[in-house]
Structure 1
Amino acid sequence: MSISKSIVQQALLLIKPGMTVGFGGGSTVGLLVKQAANLINEVQVLTPSPTTRQLATVLGYTVIDPQYCDRIDLAFDGCDQLDHHHSALKSGGGIHTNEKIIATLADEYWLMAPQAKLVNEFDTKDPLVLEVLPYALALVMHKVASLGGQPTVRTAENRDGMTLTDNGNFIIDCHFPSYHNLPKINQQLSALAGVVETSYFDHLVTNAIIGNPENDTINYLY
């Protein structure tokens, strides 16, 4: 059994009939959605991911819109990196704003990740990602540079132009030489006019299921 399947088997035990469940994006979440098929008629689903939404709809889940929901029992998601203080870096997919809404709605926000993504200190290989209003592009680019970062506007792979979020905004990938002051940098950028959200989930993670592929064991972060 792959480590992703082992993680999913543990996550399945947490989902109970009558729950409202959030599912994020990524292959492990997709596998969980498929494996939870016996609960299709007994749970309601929310998701910030268009791919996950399509999968859940095709499978027959009742998918509801977050704008009409003020609480979720639990939500599952992946991440780029997770630390031992329940903070995470996310958003290769650029949907972190909507993911953060789901995380905040959830009584329990569970991340599912392989052991390699659990870190003592965040590695700068993954950028801090900003969702930014188009009107504020130059302002935000200048601010990131003034904080020592290298901002890059994410461009679309299958069309000429910038990548737009589902909310119609730009995505800026910010590479910093160090994440030693990441909470402070995140706070400064979050407060900047035109920044909708950052991809740093500051103490938003309540729990995590961590899989070690070397010995096929599962650990938990509580």
Structure 2
Amino acid sequence: MKTTGGSTEAKRRAGEHAATAVEDGMVVGLGTGSTAAHAIRAIGAAVDDGLDVVGVPTSFQSRQLAIEEGVPVVDLDEVGGVDLAIDGADQIADGQLIKGGGAAHAREKIVDAAADRFLVVADPSKQVESLDHAVPVEVLPAARPVVERRLRELGGESSLRTAERKDGPVVTDNGNVVLDCEFGTIDAPGTLAERLATIPGIVEHGLFVDLADEVHVGTAEDVTVERL
């Protein structure tokens, strides 16, 4: 359930601007999605110019792009920590995020939460007054019926995310399925996040609450930075 909107130029500006925060010797979390991809490409260009960093990818997609761009990659358990993570978002309201359009939110949340600084990159279409996007929920396949019932009890309407150009559901890098759950306007994302986290069978949900340190929003002309 990838989100659309925002110009390529705006995304490029946001990603490249955040990449300027990467310094020599850093371990960098590499996010997933079209805007984070611009940051990975910019980091790759800096590596070509002599920057010494390693990247921790959040998905097969970001790993492959990093390798193509010449960024050395490692797994999270191979490093002592993450200095900086750069990742996109499907929706942003007051620094709170919904992520998971690329079905990589479980690994993204692990890496982003481990980072000393987490920079969100986005175009203006992702900024809203209140979160109301469907919340992606990664679920163990066998637990799907139970999780769907519990989501209904929370007032959510869920649907199994189906794959494009193949029959059947989207399968995450972790081998699980994704339910996209509509809650309407989410007035208390922290409360909903806590409730989702208690449901057995849910591997991870797409509400990223109080994790972002900065939001870099690109436009056709410049980039604005909100520090949280």
Normalising to structure 2: TM-score of the pair? Answer: 0.88
The CA deviation at 1:198 is: 0.5
**Which residue of 83, 92, 95 corresponds with 2:101?**
92
Q: Distance in 2 between matches of 1:152 and 1:5?
A: 32
Aligned position for 2:161: 154
Which digits, 9 at most, give the CA deviation of each residue in 1:163-202, with x for residues without a partner?
A: 2111111111101233124332221121111111110001
Aligned position for 1:38: 46
**Which residue of 63, 66, 89 corresponds with 1:56?**
66
Q: Distance in 2 between matches of 1:183 and 1:145?
A: 18
Alignment of 1:26-175 (within 5 A): 26-36=33-43, 37-40=45-48, 42-84=52-94, 86-122=95-131, 124=132, 126-175=133-182
Aligned-residue sequence identity (percent) comes to: 31
Describe the shift of the 1:9–1:173 C-alpha distance in structure 2 as closer, same or farther (beyond 3 A).
closer
SS at match of 1:74: strand
Contact map agreement 2:161 2:169 (CA 8 A) in 1: yes
The CA deviation at 1:45 is: 0.6
User: Letter of the aligned partner of 1:94 in structure 2?
Assistant: A
RMSD: 1.8
Aligned residues: 217
Contact map agreement 2:15 2:39 (CA 8 A) in 1: yes
Describe the shift of the 1:135–1:17 C-alpha distance in structure 2 as closer, same or farther (beyond 3 A).
same
SS at match of 2:83: strand
Q: Distance in 2 between matches of 1:70 and 1:82?
A: 29
- Is there any run of 5+ residues in structure 1 with no aligned partner, and where? none
Normalising to structure 1: TM-score of the pair? Answer: 0.90
Aligned position for 2:184: 177
User: Letter of the aligned partner of 1:186 in structure 2?
Assistant: A
Q: Distance in 1 between matches of 2:196 and 2:9?
A: 39
